[in-house]
Amino acid sequence: MSRFLLPLTEYNRVYQVVHGVLLGIPEANAEKACIFFATFGAYVLNREYGIDARVVAGAFSFAMSDADEIAFFGRIEKDQLVSADDAFHMWVQTKTHVFDFMAPIYREAFAAVPGAATLPRKMMQRRLEDEAPSLDALRQAGDFRYYPNPDLTQELVDHFFDRQLNIDLLNVATAWYGKRRAGQAPTFAMADEKGAATHLALANTTAKGAW
C-alpha cells in the first residue's frame, strides 16, 4: 500500500486554503476549527481526487515525542479516552488512510500541553494499519490512536451545516482552491452580504515532512 495518497505539496494546498479563509474571519480560531479543516479536506479528496473520504469525529491521541509526551483531544473518564460535544476532534478517513489537515498547527492546538511549543510542523497522513493498538502503545513521535464516535460525528456535522456562515465559508474555500491541476492563487477576495471585501491570503505556515 502506498504510504501517501496526497503529495506533501497538495496536502499543504488544502491546509493553506482552509487556514487562509479562517485568518480572514476575526472571530475564528484556526486551532479549534477541526470540523472546517476535515469537511473541506474530505470534499477535496472526493471531488478532485475521486477518493472516497468521510469525516469522522471522536477522541484523538498523539505522541508528540519519543519521551512519553502525549497530547489528546477528548477527556479521560475512568482511565478511558472518550469524546463529547465539548471534547472532541474531527479528521478524515478513507478506506486506507487517515488525514488531519490541521496537523501543521498542532503546536497551537496543543498549546496547553507541555512541550507543544516545539512541535514541528508536519503532515498527518497515515495508513490506518499504522494506528497504535492502545494508548499505552504511543511511544514514538507521531504514534497515534483514534476513537471514532459515530453518533457525535452525525451531531456535529448536522450542527455545522445548520449554520449558513459555515456553508458560505466552504463555498469561499472551494472557489479559492479551484481545480486540482490549476495553479493556486495566493490571495482571494471574499465579499460579505453588503459587498464589503475581505482580502484573504494563504497561511504562511506549511507542513515540512510527515509524521
Lowest mean pLDDT among 53-57, 82-86, 105-109, 192-196: 192-196
Output the pLDDT for position 164: 95
Q: For residue 97, is it within any domain?
A: yes
At what angle are helices 150-162 and 34-49 packed, to 10 degrees? 90
Overall domain count for the chain: 1
Which of these, 209, 208, 194, 169, lies nearest to 17 by C-alpha position?
A: 169
- C-alpha–C-alpha distance, residues 190 and 185, integer Å: 13
Q: For residue 3, is it within any domain?
A: no
**CATH classification at residue 112:** 3.10.550.10
Pairing of strands 197-201, 187-191: antiparallel
Residue range(s) defining the domain that contains residue 28: 8-201
Q: For residue 2, is it within any domain?
A: no
Which runs of E-coded beta strand occur in the chain? 54-63, 70-73, 75-77, 80-82, 89-93, 97-100, 124-127, 144-148, 187-191, 197-201
pLDDT band at 193 (very low <50, low <70, confident <90, very high): confident
Report angle CA 16, 21, 27 to the nearest 5 degrees.
125
Number of other residues whose CB lies within 10 A of the CB of residue 204? 9
Q: For residue 174, is it within any domain?
A: yes
Residue 110 has pLDDT above 80, yes or no: yes
Tens digit of pLDDT for each residue in 23-72?
Answer: 999 889 999 999 999 999 999 999 999 999 999 999 999 999 887 789 99
Q: For residue 209, is it within any domain?
A: no
pLDDT band at 134 (very low <50, low <70, confident <90, very high): very high
Q: For residue 184, is it within any domain?
A: yes
Output the pLDDT for position 77: 93
| Cell representation of residue 64 | 508528540
> Considering the entire predicted model, what is its pTM?
0.95
Q: For residue 124, is it within any domain?
A: yes
